[in-house]
Amino acid sequence: MTITLLPRHIAIVMDGNGRWAKNKGRPRIAGHRRGVESVRNIVDFCGQRGIEYLTLFAFSSENWRRPRSEVDFLMELLVSTLENEVQKLHANGVQLKIIGDLDSFGARIQKLVAHAQSLTFDNKKLTLTVAINYGGRWDVAEAARALAAKIASGDLLVADITEQLVAEAMSTAGIPDPDLFIRTGGETRISNFLLWQLAYTELYFTDVLWPDFDEIQLDLALSSFAGRQRRFGRTGEQIL
C-alpha cells in the first residue's frame, strides 16, 4: 500500500487486552503479555514507515482502580519490558521518553526510566513516548503548577502566559501535537489521555483489540488519515 500523507506523530490508546484474553478463555494478564508483542511490532513498523513520534498510553492514572493482582502484574510487565527492550530500541535509533506521574513508583522503576531516557537521549530515528500513571488533567495541572511557581518567584508575568508557554510546561514539551490518534478495542473515548495535545488531532477508532493490532491495521489507520482534509478552521477551498 502506498500512503501519501503520513502523520508525523501517532498517539495510541492501546485498549482491549483483557477482552482479547477473555475471548480466548485466558486470564486478562495473558492479553497484556500479548499486548507487549503488538507494541514491539508497531514500534518497528513506525520506524520503518518514517513516523517521527509515537506516543503510547500504557497505564492511566485511573488504572490503579483495577484489582491489585492485575496492577502488580502490569508493573512487573513494565519493568521487564523496560529491562529487555531498551538495548534493542537504542540499537534501532529510538529515543525513549516516559511521561506521567512517576512519584508514585518505587526506586527500581524510577532508576530504569532514568537510565533508558539518558541512554537513548540522542537517538533521532523515532521518539517513542510511553505514558504511565498518566492523566491528561494531571498534565494540565502540572503545567499550571509550574507556571504558577515561575510567577511566584518573579520569573514570569501573568500577562505573559501564552498557549506556547503552557505547551512548553506540559510533559510533552518539545514534541509536536499528535496528527493521528488511534484507539483500539472499540470504545470511542479519550479516557483522560493527552487532552491539551489532541485539540486538532485526527481521531481513528477501531474495534480491533490491541493484541490483534498489526501492520495491516496500522496501514488502515494511515490510509484513513491520508484521506482526511485537515482544515484547522479554514474552508475546504482555502486548503485546495
Q: Is 63 in the site for ligand IPE (CB under 6 A)?
A: yes
Q: Which does 60 bind (CB under 5 to 8 A by kind): Mg ion, ligand IPE, none?
A: ligand IPE
Site string for ligand IPE, 185-204 (x = CB under 6 A): x-x-x-x-------------
Q: Which of residues 4-33 bind ligand IPE (CB under 6 A)?
A: 13-19
Q: Is position 234 an interface residue for ligand IPE (rule: CB under 6 A)? A: no
Cα dihedral 210, 223, 130, 118, rounded to 10, equals 140
Which of 11, 15, 138, 180 forms a contact with Mg ion (CB under 5 A)?
Answer: 15
Number of residues that bind ligand IPE (CB under 6 A): 18
- Decide: 125 and 50 in contact? Cβ < 8 Å: no
Please say if 15 is a catalytic residue.
Answer: yes
Examine residue 57 and tell whether it contacts ligand IPE (CB under 6 A): yes
Stretch that binds ligand IPE, among 53-61, 93-101, 103-111, 168-176 (CB under 6 A): 53-61
Least distance between ligand IPE and beta carbon 21 (Å)? 8
Supply 70's cell numbers: 492485575
Query: Which option in Mg ion, ligand IPE, none does residue 136 bind, with CB closer than 5 to 8 A by kind?
Result: none
Residue 202 near Mg ion by CB under 5 A: no
Residues of the shown chain interacting with ligand IPE in the complex, contacts defined by CB under 6 A: 13-19, 57-60, 62-63, 74, 185, 187, 189, 191
- Please identify every residue annotated as catalytic: 15, 63
Residues of the shown chain interacting with Mg ion in the complex, contacts defined by CB under 5 A: 15
